[in-house]
Amino acid sequence: MKFNTKVIHGGQHHDPSTGAVMPPVYQTSTFVQTSPGQPINPDYEYSRAANPTRTALENALASIENGTRGLAFSSGLAATDCVLRSFKAGDEIIAMDDLYGGTYRMFTRIYKDSGIKFHFVDMNDLDKFKSLINENTKLVWVETPTNPLMKLADVQEIAKITKENKILFAVDNTFATPYLQKPLDLGADIVMHSATKYLGGHSDVIAGALIVKDEALGEQLHFQQFATGATLGPMDSFLVLRGIKTLHLRVERHCENGGKVVEFLNNHPKVKTVYYPGLPSHPYHEIAKKQMSGFGGMVSFTFVSGKKEDAIDFLEKLKVFTLAESLGGVESLANHPALMTHASIPEEKRKEIGITDDLVRLSVGIEDAVDLIEDLKQALA
């Protein structure tokens, strides 16, 4: 199947008991057994282990990322946490230097105390990256594009290095979505999504996802998910699955509107730098062209003045864009990373990687582009 067909039909089956086109919401915690240890359906005993609605979502996730196993979690961070539970004291993890604030917080404030050592590095400096690899290195974790500076990492080149060294390679594909980028096809072992964002697409659910190529790894991660309990409920599974059905249509419009917003911002006298992988001036534009089929709807920019006050003033004046955390919904959102999504990162670390106090991040939605640009224009005036 081509992608546009996969999002609707991939891994999906009509409900066998009723013929329902969409999987029902199996709002049940447990399933009847005919004799001790003999459930009517051997796949379902207790909903923490498996639930038919979640199974339908997980099959769709595996299909759209070209994986063998999909797992649905109660949040993106729960999915990340599940991966990290594979490691022990003394293990080392190499991560991209520009990460979502919640991921950075988990690495540095939760797992660092467990004896796992983390290295944060610019993944485009492959020599520096390779110099950090040793016999204790067990995982490489990247976001591409990153949140909020839109840095990219060459997944194919990093995968060559991790395979040579027998290291697991995980990619947070939240910003790109499987419509624009398929890390497993490029050599990654694990793909993570905050399914709250583009996969759900309607700002009405919190969810996470892991997709893997290797069946044994999928079984291991499923056991860790089952044993720790951060599974996605049936109603939330239904909402994400419904969102996936229109992913291709929405992301096309996100890309279209994103390009128009970038063109406006890039020519505005009050805007200093626009961070968007579709710009030829973007330092990793060639990587974007190589591994992505489009450039997405996430845009960040800074002000010529460099003042935090100008960013706050701009955000307070927006009328169509909504000032809120999160991204990837049908509505356009605006965010101040230093005060909102990345406030958990220490100020000195934010400055080191380029998250300045005048940086604004936009999640460009699917409204009429003319209205979005008019809103930006009046807020900047």
Which is the catalytic residue, given 6, 151, 197, 213? 197
With cut-offs at 50, 70 and 90, classify the pLDDT of residue 379: very high
**For the chain, percent of residues with pLDDT exceeding 90:** 94
**pLDDT for res 346:** 86
- Mean pLDDT, the chain, rounded, equals 97
CA angle 321, 322, 326 (to 5 degrees): 115
How far is it, in rounded angstroms, from Cα 193 to Cα 79?
8
Q: What is the pLDDT of residues 29-38, one digit of tens each?
A: 999 999 999 9
CA angle 63, 68, 69 (to 5 degrees): 90
Q: What is the pLDDT of residues 271-310, one digit of tens each?
A: 999 999 999 999 999 999 999 999 999 999 999 999 999 9
- 54 is a catalytic site residue: no
**pLDDT for res 283:** 95
How far is it, in rounded angstroms, from Cα 237 to Cα 240?
5
HEC secondary structure over the chain: CCHHHHHHHCCCCCCCCCCCCCCCCCCCCECCEEECCEECCCCCCECCCCCHHHHHHHHHHHHHCCCCEEEEECCHHHHHHHHHCCCCCCCEEEEECCCCHHHHHHHHHHHHHHCCEEEEECCCCHHHHHHCCCCCEEEEEEECCCCCCCCCCCHHHHHHHHHHCCCEEEEECCCCHHHHCCHHHHCCCEEEEECCCCCCCCCCCCCEEEEECCHHHHHHHHHHHHHHCCECCHHHHHHHHHHHCCHHHHHHHHHHHHHHHHHHHHCCCCEEEEECCCCCCCCCHHHHHHHCCCCCCEEEEEECCCCHHHHHHHHHHCCCCEECCCCCCCCCEEECCCCCCCCCCCHHHHHHHCCCCCCEEEECCCCCHHHHHHHHHHHHC
Whether pLDDT at 109 is above 90: yes
Token pair of 164 as six digits: 């040579």
- 284 is a catalytic site residue: no
**pLDDT for res 113:** 86
- 109 is a catalytic site residue: no
Q: What is the pLDDT of residues 322-345, one digit of tens each?
A: 999 999 999 999 999 999 989 888
**pLDDT for res 173:** 98
- 48 is a catalytic site residue: yes
| Under 8 Å between Cβ of 174 and 76 | yes
Domains present along the chain, CATH in parentheses: 3-243 (3.40.640.10), 249-380 (3.90.1150.10)
Q: What is the pLDDT of residues 133-175, one digit of tens each?
A: 999 999 999 999 999 999 999 999 999 999 999 999 999 999 9
**pLDDT for res 112:** 83
**pLDDT for res 81:** 98
Q: What is the pLDDT of residues 192-214, one digit of tens each?
A: 999 999 999 999 999 999 999 99
Which is the catalytic residue, given 6, 54, 81, 100? 100
Which is the catalytic residue, given 98, 172, 189, 357? 172
Cα radius of gyration (the chain): 21
Whether pLDDT at 16 is above 90: no
Amino acid at 70: G
